Amino acid sequence: MTLVRVLAFSVVVLLAYTLFANILPQVQSDPPTDEAPVAADGLDMPAMIAWGERLFSGKGTCTLCHNDLGRAPDLLKLNLAETWADRLGNANYEGEAKGEEGAAAIEIYLRESMVDTSAYVVPGFGKKGTNDTVSPMPAVDAAPISLSEVEMNALIAFLQDRTGVDVTVPLPTGDDGEDVAGDDEDGEEEGPAESAQVALDKYTCSACHDVNDSGADAGPPLHSLGAKLGRDGIREAILDPNATIAEGFEADMMPDDFGDQMRVSELDMIIDYLMTLDAKGDAQ
């Protein structure tokens, strides 16, 4: 009789657990699936705009400077439909959009700002000591960003749509010969960098720091860091940039999420390389 009671109790307990488990919300964890390639000539305009949004925060690295930290105009908050006339009407503007109107002018202005970045510099955002005549922004069609014509069109489409004007860029055709597959929202379509130079390009270090003769001055130069900071200091400066602020620069100017973006191998390669640079930026 005792055995029967024990068995009956066990069955009741199992049934209770089963019922309880089925009442709870079910969470299923599936491995991510590979996204099939999407031909560029198969995009419609909504897909083009969505691609541009991914490029804005991913491969284009636009959010590195165009944010609310004051490095560059915050394009996600700026109403281009209201400000483009002031930009083009500024006495210092001599670019290709002068004399154009509406969405077409915005397209020309945006494209120009990507490839000829010093054609017009928004007051207050020029390189130090240039009186806003030289932009610190690198041309996005050149290394390290290297956007194609179609990718720049997608970015322009995203920004035009966001500001509420007609999208004027053309959709890509088969002649453009591009795929958008692998361009995920995290911008991590490529594998780990194979060298320090590639890693520096991948994370666009030269866009803000003077390294490899980039001449950038939004952040401190990366020369002689080994002698100044040592390996541990360089690591901290990359992973926790606000821990120590270089003289003459402000806090919150450098992204603090490189620890999430970089692979350990990439971080180590960058540190190893920076440890070799002398005061002239030459590897010892």
The per-residue DSSP string of 194-227 comes to SSHHHHHHHTTGGGTS--TT----SS---TTHHH
In the chain, which segments carry CATH 1.10.760.10? 192-284
List, for residues 160-170, the tens digit of each pLDDT value. Answer: 999 888 999 99
Say what the pLDDT of residue 284 is.
Answer: 58
The answer to whether 85 and 78 are in contact (CB under 8 A) is no
Count the Cβ atoms, other than its own, within 10 Å of residue 181: 14
**pTM score of the predicted model:** 0.66
Tell the CATH superfamily of the 192-284 domain: Cytochrome c-like domain (1.10.760.10)
Is the pLDDT higher at 64 or at 165?
A: 165
Amino acid at 18: T
- CA gap 165, 154 in Å, rounded: 15
E strand map for 57-215: none
- Over residues 268-284, the mean pLDDT reads 81
Contact residues for 128 (Cβ-Cβ < 8 A; gap 6+)? 217
Residue with tokens 């270090």: 205
- Over residues 137-162, the mean pLDDT reads 90
Contact residues for 76 (Cβ-Cβ < 8 A; gap 6+)? 66, 67, 162
Burial (0-12, 13-18, 19+ Cβ within 10 Å), 47: middle
Residue with tokens 């541990």: 232
Residue with tokens 């270089």: 246
Say what the pLDDT of residue 273 is.
Answer: 94
Share of the chain above pLDDT 90, in %: 27
